[in-house]
């Protein structure tokens, strides 16, 4: 049978172009009814090509699939509510949400304007918040949901000129992990993907490496995480040109001070033990981490 979506409804933000478009086509080919959301922005979020959502919908329908266009921006609460309402009004339910919409306004931190900062945070982090809260109104009562967020290597590892983008993308990890914990009792799983793929957003960055890195290598990870087959939650996965990895947030086992209040000199002297990453710990929640601290301190 494979991973199928018959009877399921998937909303994908920013799916008129790039990775989102590839996700939309794959979900539809696997039986999902898809809401293709995209206002058709340029890479920097300014006005672009409003017809992109319609074009993806037409293509899906011409291939025998089910899709409807939505042109709202994820930036406002009203926009996000309208995107979710489109799913419910057209197809009667909502099973999976892929938070994919994104823009870039790169500049070195010392020169970044408040508008450049806020605009990028509003789309990636604010948009994902508005969309998730709107989706929860449907997913919690129905006792099922899959939410996928798009982070970035810039947010995980840092990248010159992308303080706004990296901060927003790193913020999504926290948002997703909290949703994973809060959503568990309602059958809602939440995971994050860090894609690397050739799109208009990255074609100038990836250089000659680009040819191997088409969106198609990211698609299967996103489709799996949005499916009922996905039994993972609170995870972060990298999908890059055919290499798939879990991105882990861990702690070294650390150095345990002999007093509760060591001095900065003790920290400096013990950095090699503090940083020794043999036998690292992988807490999956704040409670996990507190339990690990208690164990280290033998409390
Ligand atoms: P893209 O520019 O091709 O697609 C992004 C889409 O989001 C566009 O169609 C755009 O119109 C839409 N969008 C912008 N603002 C929106 C808004 N307010 N509401 C709804 N839609 C909006 O870029 P892409 O490379 O396909 O990126 C998709 C996602 O993946 C983004 O979140 C991006 O940050 C992330 N990502 C991509 C890569 C990569 O290698 N391509 C790497 C890391 C992260």
pTM of the full structure: 0.96
Q: Of 144, 165, 237, 280, which is the active-site residue?
A: 165
The pLDDT of residue 132: 99
The pLDDT of residue 210: 66
**47 Cβ partners below 8 Å, 6+ apart?**
40, 41
Task: Give the separation between CA 126 and CA 77, rounded to whole angstroms.
Answer: 9
Other CB atoms within 10 A of residue 182 CB: 13
Q: Is the CB of 73 under 6 A from ligand 1?
A: yes
Q: Which of 11, 16, 18 to mutate to test the pocket of ligand 1 (most atoms within 8 A of CB)?
A: 18
Q: Half-sphere exposure (CA, 13 Å, Cβ side) for 162?
A: 22
Which atom from ligand 1 is nearest to the alpha carbon of 153? 43
> Is residue 169 very low, low, confident or very high in pLDDT (cuts 50, 70, 90)?
very high
Task: Give the separation between CA 295 and CA 299, rounded to whole angstroms.
Answer: 6
Task: Give the separation between CA 267 and CA 290, rounded to whole angstroms.
Answer: 21
CA-closest candidate to residue 41, choices 154, 122, 117: 122
Q: Is the CB of 201 under 6 A from ligand 1?
A: yes
Domains and CATH numbers, the chain: 9-246 (3.40.50.720), 251-296 (no CATH)
Q: Is the CB of 162 under 6 A from ligand 1?
A: no
Q: Encode pLDDT of 75-117 as tens digits.
A: 999 999 999 999 999 999 999 999 999 999 999 999 999 999 9
Q: Encode pLDDT of 175-222 as tens digits.
A: 999 999 999 999 999 999 999 998 888 877 766 666 678 899 999 999
> Rounded to 5 degrees, what are φ and ψ at 51?
-80, -5
pLDDT over 90 (residue 1): no
Order of strands across the sheet with 243-246?
66-70, 33-37, 9-13, 96-99, 145-150, 188-196, 236-240, 243-246
**3 Cβ partners below 8 Å, 6+ apart?**
30, 223, 224, 227, 229
Q: Encode pLDDT of 221-261 as tens digits.
A: 999 999 999 999 999 999 998 899 999 999 999 999 999 89
* 9 within 8 A of 35, measured Cβ to Cβ: yes
Q: Please compute the mean of the pLDDT values over residues 23-44 and round it to a whole number.
A: 97
Residue 23 annotated to the active site: no
Q: Is the CB of 19 under 6 A from ligand 1?
A: yes
* 191 within 8 A of 232, measured Cβ to Cβ: yes
């Amino acid at each position: 049978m494979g991973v199928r979506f018959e009877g399921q409804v998937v909303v994908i933000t920013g799916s008129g172009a790039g990775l989102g478009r590839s996700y939309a086509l794959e979900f539809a080919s696997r039986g999902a009814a898809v809401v293709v959301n995209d206002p058709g922005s340029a890479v920097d979020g300014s006005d672009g090509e409003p017809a992109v959502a319609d074009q993806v919908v037409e293509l899906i329908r011409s291939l025998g699939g089910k899709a409807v266009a939505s042109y709202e921006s994820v930036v406002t609460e009203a926009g996000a509510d309208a995107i979710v309402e489109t799913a419910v009004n057209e197809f009667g339910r909502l099973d999976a949400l892929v938070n994919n919409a994104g823009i870039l306004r790169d500049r070195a931190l010392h020169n970044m304007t408040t508008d450049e900062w806020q605009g990028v945070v509003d789309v990636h982090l604010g948009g994902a918040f508005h969309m998730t809260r709107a989706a929860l109104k449907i997913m919690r009562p129905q006792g099922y949901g899959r939410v996928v967020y798009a982070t970035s290597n810039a947010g995980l590892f840092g990248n010159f000129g992308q303080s706004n983008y990296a901060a927003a993308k790193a913020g999504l990890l926290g948002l997703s992990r909290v949703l994973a914990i809060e959503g568990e009792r309602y059958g809602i799983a939440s995971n994050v993907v860090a894609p690397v793929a050739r799109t208009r957003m990255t074609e100038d960055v990836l250089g000659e490496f680009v040819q191997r890195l088409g969106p198609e290598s990211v698609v299967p990870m996103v489709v799996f995480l949005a499916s009922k087959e996905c039994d993972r939650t609170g995870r972060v996965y990298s999908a890059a040109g055919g290499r798939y990895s879990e991105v882990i947030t861990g702690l070294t086992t650390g150095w345990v001070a002999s007093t509760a209040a060591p001095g900065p000199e003790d920290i400096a002297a013990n950095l090699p033990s503090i940083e020794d990453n043999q036998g690292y710990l992988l807490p999956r929640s704040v409670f996990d981490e507190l339990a690990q601290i208690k164990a280290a301190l033998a409390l």
